[in-house]
Structure 1
Amino acid sequence: MAYDFTITGPDRIISGIGALQELPGAMDARGAKRALILTGNSLATKTDLVSQVEAALGSRHAGTFSGCAQHVPSGTVDACQQAALDADADSLVVFGGGSPIDTAKLVVKRLAEAGRTGVTQFVMPTTLSAGEFTYAAGITDETTRVKAVVVDPVMQPEVIVYDPELTRPTPVDLWLTTGIKALDHAVEGVWWPNGHPFTETLRLGAIADLRRHLEASKDPDALDDRLACMHAAWKSIWGLLSAKNVGFRLSHPLGHQIGARWDVPHGVTSCISLPAAARFLHGLLGRGAGEDRGGDGTGESRGCGAGHRGVLRDAGRAQAAFADHGEARRDPAGCQGGFRRAEASRRAGQRHRHAGSFDRIVGVRLVAAGQPFGK
């Protein structure tokens, strides 16, 4: 077979402890003079980091929009687009997790469609979701609570700044569950049929680095471990849209809909969906998915399971959808039966009959380079 790989952005990645100080120079190099900061309410009101970023921008700071929200409700994209127009912004400085990052991408696309091209994105992530490395973004219809994915090269962020010091206020559960999201990217990247050998090497490296550093990175002061996890998140997804006919298999698309429907954080959705998807894919692909890599999809996860059972219990509204991993095998296209029963139970205010087995099933067993994750 012939492999087809096209280099896509970002154009520049700056990483290191204290890398925020490099942002002004990076903006000057791109000719950015009026930057709108995009972030969420928690970072804006519960930390002083947004004010630090504003100070770093100096005269380049044209305004701050702090209305980005989980799962990117369409109304927040509308409001952010208007804020960018009001500020006459020529660039967006995105500070936060996957929701501000996706919001910025969608705003850039809308502005381009309206004739305002060349708006540069400078992204400073505070989680391990790694959306900064793709030109895809999710947006949720607030009426149907269905999440759609938009893909357009114009949305690719140009400059990424990885500074682990900016992640100190990130809640530990959010940090670690988005680490499992990065693991989700890597595992599904390895298991894509006819996967590209270059990206497969990156994905396996991401798995190894997350095994080594994620648990230690629970400590907000473990900055070297946090930076290693940020680099692992990069390796888990870079090239996703560069290699032809390569993408996500099962866990990630299901996680999008679980999150939007039941308002479950995206990192937690990976903790829910990846175990079932890993078992299904291993059974489906057999030797090519597991034995060649030494794994069978049943490694005990210390990184997500033992440390986050409370977080997973909080996602109880989605328990029924993946409570029985056997159902995922029977209905690999979307566990539709589980979703239907979950929705019926939700409407009736009832607990699904399998909900008690949730911790046992997703509590959590993940494949990680053929060895128990976190050991």
Structure 2
Amino acid sequence: MYDFLSLSPERVRSGIGAASLLPEEVARVGGSRALIITGNTLANKTGLAQRLADQLGKQCVGVFDGSKQHVLASSVDAAVAEADRTRADVLISFGGGSPIDTAKMVAYKRLQAGAPVPPHIAVPTTLSAGEFTHAAGMTDDTTRVKGVYFDIQLMPRTVILDPELTVETPEWLWGATGLRAMDHAVEAVWAKPPHPLVSTLALRAAHDLRENLPRSRDVGDLELRLHCQHAAWMSIFGLLNLGLRLTHPIGHQLGARFDIPHGVTSCVVLPEAMRFFAERTTREQAQLAEAFGVAQKSDAASAAAAADAIEQLVKDLSLPGRLSDTSARKDELADVARSIAEELREFNSPDTDLATAEALEGLLRKVW
């Protein structure tokens, strides 16, 4: 028996130029005082945040540019204060996963305080796909441990996918968040138990990302970049119904502790995690090989080929493939492994017997 809770943004508007619909969406969700939540680069080193503010005109009450990678708790507190100061009745997150989760955590703080939750319109510029979930991560500034928070009221009301707004996204970030979307797809395919709808979309997403992501680095091909945005959406559709088995908890803790972008943690960890999990998920990984067009004569050989294909994709995108290529510290890997094991236990992973702290430390050392 399947039990599927269908939670999605109520409206997704996608296409070249879709950002022009933002004022209409602010009005549709009942707002007139929109606060744009973004990071320093989009706000101050490109003209894109100002472009959105100009489109909104009097509907925009400000631009908060203090969103931080991995959503530091202090940056969320600052965003809450700005939303209160401006009396914002709509939040517009603009950028990658960090601004999106910052807006979600503003909503979460409002919930905790018993205050009204403003509607959230997400305008992503990467492929991390967090705009399609009701979960958010926030990192303790002192311990660098990331917590994950869930509530149906964290789901954005509207998502706007406009490839024109991705042209300033650095090539490495576009590629790395595409690998993050691939990571979503892999977790969906090997979910226990899998769901036929989610698996179908995830396999299509995996195929499309492998096919299109390298070519989409050409910022002039907006249609191809839009295809990747749709693939990222498919990669995460329904995933939170199924639970996260391995790679996302690894990414949560590696990223928060060492300030490594989540997309980069997927580049480094995903192929080796697939090999680590191969005996338990042989058939599921063979399905990925079929989606990639690299199926072999046996499921075991196909699973190995799927991991190799993703590893090659990382190389083709010129992205980091080893922890030693990042800001990670080798002498802290045992502590990180314990944090990962704790997160797996917290969320009732079916694999805590295999993914012990000791085994996870071994996996991390393999990718050093």
TM range (shorter): 0.7 to 0.9
Letter in 2 for 1:36: L
- Counterpart in 2 of 1:304? 314
Structure 2 length as normaliser, TM-score? 0.85
- Counterpart in 1 of 2:282? 286
1:164-210 Cα offsets, whole Å, 9 max, x none, are: 01011110000001000000000111011221100100000101111
Indicate yes or no: 2:299 matched with 1:317. no
Contact 1:176/1:303, CA 8 A, preserved across alignment = no
User: Counterparts of 1:335 and 1:222 in 2: how far apart (Å)?
Assistant: 44
Percent identity, aligned pairs only, is 45
Aligned CA-pair RMSD: 2.5
Indicate yes or no: 2:223 matched with 1:224. yes
Contact 1:34/1:89, CA 8 A, preserved across alignment = yes
1:18-37 matches, within 5 Å, as 18-37=17-36
User: Counterparts of 2:186 and 2:360 in 1: how far apart (Å)?
Assistant: 23
User: Counterparts of 1:251 and 1:339 in 2: how far apart (Å)?
Assistant: 14
Contact 1:173/1:311, CA 8 A, preserved across alignment = no
1:134-171 Cα offsets, whole Å, 9 max, x none, are: 11111111111111111111111110000001011110
- Counterpart in 2 of 1:333? 355
User: Counterparts of 2:23 and 2:319 in 1: how far apart (Å)?
Assistant: 41
> What secondary structure does 2:187 align onto?
helix
> What secondary structure does 2:318 align onto?
helix
1:1-375 matches, within 5 Å, as 2-241=1-240, 243=241, 246-290=242-286, 294=295, 295-297=302-304, 298-300=307-309, 301-309=311-319, 314-317=325-328, 321=333, 332-333=354-355, 335-336=357-358, 339=361, 358=368
Cα deviation, residue 112, structure 1: 2.6
**Which range is displaced more, 24-33 or 12-21?**
24-33
Contact 2:214/2:316, CA 8 A, preserved across alignment = no
Cα deviation, residue 26, structure 1: 1.4
User: Counterparts of 2:16 and 2:330 in 1: how far apart (Å)?
Assistant: 38
> What secondary structure does 1:317 align onto?
coil
User: Counterparts of 1:261 and 1:115 in 2: how far apart (Å)?
Assistant: 31
**Which range is displaced more, 219-228 or 90-99?**
219-228
Contact 2:26/2:34, CA 8 A, preserved across alignment = no
> What secondary structure does 1:274 align onto?
helix
Contact 1:331/1:337, CA 8 A, preserved across alignment = no
Letter in 1 for 2:262: H
Structure 1 length as normaliser, TM-score? 0.84
1:276-312 Cα offsets, whole Å, 9 max, x none, are: 2111222223335437954314333443123324575
> What secondary structure does 2:91 align onto?
strand
Cα deviation, residue 6, structure 1: 1.9
1:265-286 Cα offsets, whole Å, 9 max, x none, are: 1100001111121112222233
5+ unaligned residues in a row in structure 2: which ranges? 296-301, 335-340, 342-350
User: Counterparts of 1:19 and 1:273 in 2: how far apart (Å)?
Assistant: 34
User: Counterparts of 2:321 and 2:50 in 1: how far apart (Å)?
Assistant: 30
Aligned length: 337
Contact 1:281/1:289, CA 8 A, preserved across alignment = no
